[in-house]
Structure 1
Amino acid sequence: MAKPANQNLTVREAGHMGGAATKQEVETGELPKDFYSAIGRKGGQQVKELIAKGKEAGGDSGKT
């Protein structure tokens, strides 16, 4: 799957390589096993807070 540095990668190939690299980091212990769970939880909490702030400010939810 590795290509020489002078060739362009497709988005699919780049994603595959990135996923393989992250998997290896988790397996070697460089990243904690719950890495994706933790960042997903943080992102979900951020969205929840932003929605609450929007409701407090009286923002329109886009519903008619």
Structure 2
Amino acid sequence: MNQLITITQNENNDQVVSGRELHEFLEVKTPYTQWFERMVDYGFAENIDFIGLSQKSEKP
């Protein structure tokens, strides 16, 4: 089955996706950083709903 976005498993075997890949797939017009700040305002909690990365990742 084809995946719309890449789903991986973290060290706790949770299924995770890239926020940037999700943002691109959803074709959000707002820049990623602004969009993500809005998602946090909706009540998403760091280390529960998302894990922040301190460095920029390269696009595949």
TM-score (norm 1): 0.25
Q: Specify the structure having the higher radius of gyration (Cα).
A: 1
Q: Which has the higher helix share?
A: 1
TM-score (norm 2): 0.26
